[in-house]
Amino acid sequence: DPKIIQKPKYLVAVTGSEKILICEQYLGHNAMYWYRQSAKKPLEFMFSYSYQKLMDNQTASSRFQPQSSKKNHLDLQITALKPDDSATYFCASSQENISNERLFFGHGTKLSVL
């Protein structure tokens, strides 16, 4: 019974389009994260949120915008998609945004941009 739900599991998009990746966690955690994993780069940190506030952003492009409408949601909006955006995007959460906390990961959304 997954506690971190990512939707969809697979997503195919055309270059230039916009997509939203959904992440919901049912662990009662206060911190949520996005990571990206591709063949070119290993697991790469993107964003961290704590109590729905942005804590850290390591994504250079403004085309990636996290959206937190509820405490247990952290969606990722990607605009003007490029083939290089093809990757598996992982959502994670932890009890608090503290460095010694373990992260719990979702199963990922695999995005393919044609």
# residues near another protein by CB under 8 A: 24
Of 48 and 72, CB closest to another protein:
48
Binding to another protein, residues 22-51 (CB under 8 A): 33, 35, 42-45, 48, 50
Q: For residue 84, which phi and psi values (nearest 5 degrees)?
A: -65, -15
**Distance in Å, CB of 93 to another protein, minimum:** 11
Binding to another protein, residues 68-107 (CB under 8 A): 90, 92, 97-100, 102-107
Grouping H, G, I as helix, E, B as strand and the rest as coil, residue 87 is: strand
What is the separation of C-alpha 90 from the centre of its chain, rounded to a whole number of angstroms? Answer: 5
For 39, residues 6+ apart whose C-beta sits below 8 A from its C-beta are none
Choose which of 12, 27, 54, 55 interacts with another protein (CB under 8 A): 55
Of 87 and 92, CB closest to another protein:
92
* Distance in angstroms between the alpha carbons of the first and the last residue of the chain: 32
CA angle (56 as vertex; 21, 34 as ends), nearest 5: 25
Query: Residues interacting with another protein, by CB under 8 A?
Result: 4, 33, 35, 42-45, 48, 50, 55-56, 90, 92, 97-100, 102-108
